[in-house]
Amino acid sequence: MAAVLYALPFLLQGLLITLWVSALVVVFSLVIGVILGVGLVYGPRPVQWLVRLFSDCIRGIPILVLIFVVYYGSPPLGIAIDSFWAGVVALTLFKAAQVIEYARGAISSIPKGQMEAGKAIGLTFLQRLQSVIFPQAIRRFLPPWINGVTDAVKGSALISLLGVVDLMQSINEVIGRTYEAMPLYLLGAVIYFVINYSLSLTSRYVERRYAYIRD
Protein backbone atom coordinates (compact mmCIF):
# COMPACT_ATOMS: atom_id res chain seq x y z
CA MET A 1 0.00 0.00 0.00
CA ALA A 2 2.82 2.34 0.87
CA ALA A 3 4.21 1.78 -2.60
CA VAL A 4 0.93 2.96 -4.06
CA LEU A 5 1.03 6.15 -2.00
CA TYR A 6 4.60 6.61 -3.12
CA ALA A 7 3.43 6.38 -6.72
CA LEU A 8 0.72 9.04 -6.34
CA PRO A 9 2.72 11.95 -7.81
CA PHE A 10 3.50 9.77 -10.81
CA LEU A 11 -0.18 8.85 -11.20
CA LEU A 12 -1.10 12.51 -10.91
CA GLN A 13 1.19 13.27 -13.84
CA GLY A 14 -0.57 10.56 -15.81
CA LEU A 15 -3.92 12.04 -14.89
CA LEU A 16 -2.78 15.44 -16.17
CA ILE A 17 -1.77 13.89 -19.50
CA THR A 18 -5.17 12.17 -19.74
CA LEU A 19 -6.96 15.45 -19.08
CA TRP A 20 -4.70 17.30 -21.51
CA VAL A 21 -5.23 14.75 -24.28
CA SER A 22 -8.99 14.72 -23.66
CA ALA A 23 -9.20 18.50 -23.69
CA LEU A 24 -7.21 18.80 -26.94
CA VAL A 25 -9.31 16.11 -28.61
CA VAL A 26 -12.59 17.62 -27.43
CA VAL A 27 -11.72 21.15 -28.57
CA PHE A 28 -10.13 20.21 -31.92
CA SER A 29 -12.88 17.76 -32.80
CA LEU A 30 -15.56 20.30 -31.86
CA VAL A 31 -14.12 22.96 -34.16
CA ILE A 32 -13.41 20.58 -37.03
CA GLY A 33 -16.66 18.65 -36.61
CA VAL A 34 -18.88 21.72 -36.51
CA ILE A 35 -17.20 23.32 -39.53
CA LEU A 36 -17.48 20.09 -41.53
CA GLY A 37 -21.04 19.57 -40.26
CA VAL A 38 -21.99 23.01 -41.55
CA GLY A 39 -20.30 22.10 -44.84
CA LEU A 40 -22.31 18.91 -44.97
CA VAL A 41 -25.62 20.75 -44.61
CA TYR A 42 -25.00 24.01 -46.46
CA GLY A 43 -21.95 23.38 -48.62
CA PRO A 44 -21.94 22.90 -52.38
CA ARG A 45 -22.28 19.32 -53.63
CA PRO A 46 -18.54 18.49 -53.83
CA VAL A 47 -18.01 19.69 -50.26
CA GLN A 48 -20.96 17.64 -49.03
CA TRP A 49 -19.61 14.64 -50.84
CA LEU A 50 -16.10 14.98 -49.36
CA VAL A 51 -17.38 15.44 -45.82
CA ARG A 52 -19.62 12.39 -46.21
CA LEU A 53 -16.68 10.37 -47.46
CA PHE A 54 -14.48 11.49 -44.56
CA SER A 55 -17.13 10.77 -41.97
CA ASP A 56 -18.04 7.36 -43.37
CA CYS A 57 -14.40 6.27 -43.68
CA ILE A 58 -13.44 7.30 -40.16
CA ARG A 59 -16.53 5.81 -38.59
CA GLY A 60 -15.95 2.57 -40.45
CA ILE A 61 -12.54 2.05 -38.81
CA PRO A 62 -12.10 0.82 -35.21
CA ILE A 63 -10.53 3.56 -33.15
CA LEU A 64 -7.64 1.30 -32.18
CA VAL A 65 -6.79 0.67 -35.83
CA LEU A 66 -7.06 4.38 -36.54
CA ILE A 67 -4.54 5.15 -33.81
CA PHE A 68 -1.99 2.75 -35.26
CA VAL A 69 -2.67 3.89 -38.80
CA VAL A 70 -1.90 7.49 -37.84
CA TYR A 71 1.14 6.51 -35.75
CA TYR A 72 2.76 4.15 -38.24
CA GLY A 73 1.30 5.75 -41.36
CA SER A 74 2.60 9.27 -40.80
CA PRO A 75 6.40 8.77 -41.05
CA PRO A 76 6.23 7.05 -44.48
CA LEU A 77 4.21 10.08 -45.64
CA GLY A 78 7.04 12.28 -44.44
CA ILE A 79 5.16 13.58 -41.40
CA ALA A 80 7.21 13.52 -38.22
CA ILE A 81 4.81 12.83 -35.41
CA ASP A 82 5.46 11.56 -31.87
CA SER A 83 3.22 9.10 -30.11
CA PHE A 84 1.44 11.81 -28.09
CA TRP A 85 0.38 13.80 -31.17
CA ALA A 86 -0.35 10.68 -33.18
CA GLY A 87 -2.80 9.72 -30.44
CA VAL A 88 -4.33 13.18 -30.32
CA VAL A 89 -4.73 13.32 -34.10
CA ALA A 90 -6.31 9.86 -34.31
CA LEU A 91 -8.70 10.49 -31.44
CA THR A 92 -9.57 13.90 -32.90
CA LEU A 93 -10.38 12.44 -36.31
CA PHE A 94 -12.53 9.80 -34.69
CA LYS A 95 -14.34 12.29 -32.50
CA ALA A 96 -14.74 14.83 -35.32
CA ALA A 97 -16.57 12.26 -37.43
CA GLN A 98 -19.07 11.89 -34.60
CA VAL A 99 -19.38 15.64 -34.07
CA ILE A 100 -20.17 16.04 -37.79
CA GLU A 101 -23.18 13.79 -37.34
CA TYR A 102 -24.37 15.54 -34.17
CA ALA A 103 -24.00 18.92 -35.90
CA ARG A 104 -25.75 17.75 -39.06
CA GLY A 105 -28.64 16.33 -37.06
CA ALA A 106 -29.00 19.42 -34.91
CA ILE A 107 -28.76 21.88 -37.81
CA SER A 108 -31.12 20.04 -40.11
CA SER A 109 -33.73 19.88 -37.36
CA ILE A 110 -34.15 23.65 -37.71
CA PRO A 111 -36.99 24.51 -40.11
CA LYS A 112 -35.95 25.99 -43.46
CA GLY A 113 -37.96 29.12 -42.74
CA GLN A 114 -35.45 30.15 -40.08
CA MET A 115 -32.61 30.53 -42.55
CA GLU A 116 -34.97 32.35 -44.92
CA ALA A 117 -36.18 34.75 -42.24
CA GLY A 118 -32.54 35.49 -41.49
CA LYS A 119 -31.83 36.12 -45.17
CA ALA A 120 -34.89 38.34 -45.45
CA ILE A 121 -33.66 40.77 -42.80
CA GLY A 122 -30.28 40.96 -44.51
CA LEU A 123 -28.10 38.75 -42.31
CA THR A 124 -25.05 37.24 -43.99
CA PHE A 125 -24.45 33.49 -43.89
CA LEU A 126 -22.17 33.66 -40.86
CA GLN A 127 -24.55 35.99 -39.03
CA ARG A 128 -27.40 33.58 -39.72
CA LEU A 129 -25.36 30.72 -38.31
CA GLN A 130 -24.34 32.72 -35.28
CA SER A 131 -27.64 34.36 -34.38
CA VAL A 132 -30.31 32.10 -35.83
CA ILE A 133 -29.11 28.55 -36.41
CA PHE A 134 -26.56 27.79 -33.69
CA PRO A 135 -28.56 29.15 -30.74
CA GLN A 136 -31.42 26.85 -31.74
CA ALA A 137 -29.34 23.87 -32.82
CA ILE A 138 -27.27 23.81 -29.64
CA ARG A 139 -30.18 22.41 -27.69
CA ARG A 140 -30.17 19.29 -29.82
CA PHE A 141 -26.43 19.20 -30.24
CA LEU A 142 -25.46 19.25 -26.56
CA PRO A 143 -26.87 15.99 -25.16
CA PRO A 144 -25.13 13.62 -27.61
CA TRP A 145 -22.03 15.78 -27.71
CA ILE A 146 -21.51 15.82 -23.95
CA ASN A 147 -22.05 12.08 -23.90
CA GLY A 148 -19.34 12.01 -26.52
CA VAL A 149 -17.02 14.03 -24.30
CA THR A 150 -17.10 11.31 -21.66
CA ASP A 151 -16.35 8.84 -24.46
CA ALA A 152 -13.35 10.95 -25.38
CA VAL A 153 -12.01 10.81 -21.81
CA LYS A 154 -12.48 7.05 -21.70
CA GLY A 155 -11.15 6.61 -25.23
CA SER A 156 -8.02 8.59 -24.43
CA ALA A 157 -6.84 5.57 -22.42
CA LEU A 158 -6.12 3.93 -25.78
CA ILE A 159 -3.09 6.13 -26.38
CA SER A 160 -1.38 4.24 -23.57
CA LEU A 161 -0.95 1.59 -26.27
CA LEU A 162 1.44 3.94 -28.05
CA GLY A 163 3.42 4.23 -24.81
CA VAL A 164 2.16 7.68 -23.88
CA VAL A 165 2.20 7.85 -20.10
CA ASP A 166 -1.36 8.92 -19.44
CA LEU A 167 -3.38 7.87 -16.39
CA MET A 168 -3.84 4.36 -17.77
CA GLN A 169 -0.20 3.87 -18.65
CA SER A 170 1.03 5.32 -15.35
CA ILE A 171 -1.17 2.83 -13.54
CA ASN A 172 0.21 0.01 -15.66
CA GLU A 173 3.76 1.07 -14.90
CA VAL A 174 3.17 1.33 -11.16
CA ILE A 175 1.58 -2.10 -11.21
CA GLY A 176 4.63 -3.36 -13.07
CA ARG A 177 6.78 -2.24 -10.15
CA THR A 178 4.51 -3.01 -7.20
CA TYR A 179 2.30 -5.88 -8.35
CA GLU A 180 -0.60 -4.17 -6.55
CA ALA A 181 -2.95 -4.64 -9.52
CA MET A 182 -6.33 -4.64 -7.82
CA PRO A 183 -6.10 -1.47 -5.71
CA LEU A 184 -4.46 0.43 -8.55
CA TYR A 185 -6.98 -0.52 -11.23
CA LEU A 186 -9.72 0.26 -8.72
CA LEU A 187 -8.16 3.67 -8.10
CA GLY A 188 -8.00 4.21 -11.87
CA ALA A 189 -11.63 3.24 -12.29
CA VAL A 190 -12.65 5.66 -9.53
CA ILE A 191 -10.70 8.53 -11.10
CA TYR A 192 -12.18 7.94 -14.56
CA PHE A 193 -15.60 7.67 -12.99
CA VAL A 194 -15.25 10.91 -11.03
CA ILE A 195 -14.17 12.80 -14.16
CA ASN A 196 -17.01 11.45 -16.26
CA TYR A 197 -19.64 11.73 -13.57
CA SER A 198 -18.86 15.39 -13.05
CA LEU A 199 -19.08 15.87 -16.82
CA SER A 200 -22.50 14.21 -16.83
CA LEU A 201 -23.70 16.43 -14.03
CA THR A 202 -22.47 19.47 -15.91
CA SER A 203 -24.24 18.29 -19.04
CA ARG A 204 -27.54 17.89 -17.24
CA TYR A 205 -27.18 21.38 -15.85
CA VAL A 206 -26.33 22.83 -19.27
CA GLU A 207 -29.19 20.99 -20.95
CA ARG A 208 -31.64 22.46 -18.49
CA ARG A 209 -30.26 25.92 -19.12
CA TYR A 210 -30.83 25.58 -22.87
CA ALA A 211 -34.32 24.13 -22.62
CA TYR A 212 -35.86 27.52 -23.34
CA ILE A 213 -37.83 26.52 -26.39
CA ARG A 214 -41.10 24.89 -25.61
CA ASP A 215 -41.87 22.05 -27.99
Partner 1 sequence: MDANERPLLKIEGLQKSFGQIDVLKGISMTVRKGEVVSIIGPSGSGKTTLLRCVNFLETYEHGSIQIAGQEVGFRDSSNRQRRGETDLARMRAETGMVFQSFNLFPHLTAAQNVMLGLVKVRKKSKQEAREIAEHWLTRVGLDHRIDNLPSELSGGQQQRVGIARAVAMEPKILLLDEITSALDPELVNEVLDVVRQLTEEGMTMLMVTHEIAFARDASNRIVFMDDGKVSAEGPPKELMAQAGSNERLDAFLSRFRTSHLH
Please report, as ranges, the residues that interact with partner 1 according to CB under 8 A.
111, 113-114, 116-117, 119-125, 127, 131-132, 135-136, 212-214
Closest to 158 (Cα-Cα) out of 77, 68, 98, 81: 68
User: Between 39 and 87, whose beta carbon lies closer to partner 1?
Assistant: 39
Rg (CA), the chain: 20
The smaller minimum CB distance to partner 1, of residues 111 and 183, is found at: 111
| CB burial readout 56-69, b (16+ within 10 A) else e | eebeeeebeebbee
Closest CB 46 distance from partner 1, rounded Å: 18
Query: Closest CB to partner 1 among 52 and 139?
Result: 139
Closest approach, Cβ 210 to partner 1, in A, equals: 9
What is the nearest approach in angstroms of partner 1 to the Cβ of residue 143? 17
- Nearest residue (CB) to partner 1, 8 versus 117: 117
Shortest gap between Cβ of 130 and partner 1 (angstroms)?
9
Neighbouring C-beta atoms of residue 172, cutoff 10 Å: 17
Residue closer to partner 1 by CB (options 45, 80) is 45
Shortest reach from residue 126's CB to partner 1, in Å? 8
φ/ψ of residue 180, rounded to 5: -95, 65
Nearest by Cα to 55 from 32, 24, 25: 32
Nearest residue (CB) to partner 1, 110 versus 191: 110
To partner 1, the closest distance from the beta carbon of 21 in angstroms equals: 34
